[in-house]
Structure formats: structure tokens, C-alpha cells
Amino acid sequence: MAFRSAVITFPGSNCDRDMADALEKVSGTPALRVWHGDHDLPEGLDFIALPGGFSYGDYLRCGAIASRSPVMQAVIAAADKGVPVLGVCNGFQVLTESGLLPGALLRNSVIRFVCRDVRLKVENAQSLFTSGYEAGQEIAIPVAHHDGNYFADEETLDRLEGEGRVAFRYMEDVNGSARQIAGVLNAAGNVLGMMPHPERAIEATHGGTDGRALFESAIRGLVGA
């Protein structure tokens, strides 16, 4: 069975081609490209990706306007039916603004753009996205954001921790995120939001391959299901 994925492009997205390229290189099948103004998604999708960038110039709040784009109603409906959705960087912000994930991404505590490789700890290695890793494994993934400071109230944070929904955690204070959280899952485990960019870490010639296992995990789990 061929893997069928789609990458959503918003005005201001700048990592959509990277995401599509990563999905094609790992799966062997080109990703479908979907414009934010579309009301419907292609039929039979196995995987949806919301890429990084600066949708709508980050006006109002990062991801706030994009979360109201016409296509997001279809994305939310697909997620509710169990279709896996990955949101990276700005895509993570869109997921929180749309209500698919709890919390919010605030301005970095250091008040500057952070662009470098960071060390992450894999906290949950049992999800569709992370089964290719080992629990506690340390990986290196690049970040590039100005508003990646994950915030949620203590009750929500305790629930995320208790339910095993923290997927990745920074090994250092990168942006002020509560409890060093770098990526979270929804309750069903089919939606992942993360600030680091795994699509930029799939080839050794580009600096590392630690992000490749995320895509391999998802594709293996979906195609082999």
C-alpha cells in the first residue's frame, strides 16, 4: 500500500518544501501539496503535515490566523477521525491555536530568535511518531524560532506528564518552555506538535539524521497497518 501524505501551505510558510521533500525521501512517494484556502483535503490521506514558517507574518499571534484558514476545518475533522497530523514549529503553533493540542507558544524567554541544533530527550517512544526511538534516547534536531516557549497551566502540564503525552523534552533551557517541553501529543496519540524541525535532520549531508526515525516510524506504522 502506497503512503499518501499531504503538506499544507499557508501564506508565509517557508518549510513546506522541506517537509514535502522529507516525506518523499523517506516514503518514496511524493507528498500532495494543499493550499490553505482549499476547503477539502485529498481523499484517502494517511498523514497530514503542517510545516514551519511565519504564516500570515505572525500577525496577531503566531498561528492564530492560519488556524482559521478554510482547510483547517478539514484538518480538524481528519484528526478527529484518527488521521495522523504532524505540526512543526509554526505548525505546532497552528495546532495549539486550533485547539487540536493544549497550551500555547509564547515569545522565547531570551527574547531573540534561536537557530541551532539542540539536544532532545525522547520521553514517549510508544507513539506512531516515536516508535523508532528508544525511551530516554538523546537526539539532535535543529530549531529555528522566536516564539517557541511552550506554556500551559500546571494542571494541564501534570495531565500531559501523567498521560505520557510529552513526546520530546529539551536537554537544556532553549526558550523558556515549561518543563523543557519540546513536543506534545494529543490524547489519542495521532497529533504531534513540536518546535524542533525533524524534516531538517534526515540526511547526513545536511548535518544529521536523528529526525528520520520520526518519519520512518509513522510510515511503517501506517503502511504496515
Positions marked active-site:
89, 197, 199
Q: Bridge-partner residues for 166, per DSSP?
A: 184
Q: Which helix (H) or strand (E) holds 24?
A: helix 16-27
H helix runs in 49-198, sequence order: 70-80, 90-97, 154-162
The values of phi and psi at residue 74, to 5°, are: -70, -35
Let me know how many helices (H) and strands (E) the chain has, helices first.
5, 11
Q: Give the SS3 label for residue 127.
A: coil
The CA-to-CA distance between both ends of the chain, in Å, stands at: 10
Give the C-alpha distances (Å, rounded to integers) separating 36 from 21, 55, 109.
19, 10, 30
Contact indicator for 116, 133 with CB cutoff of 8 Å: no
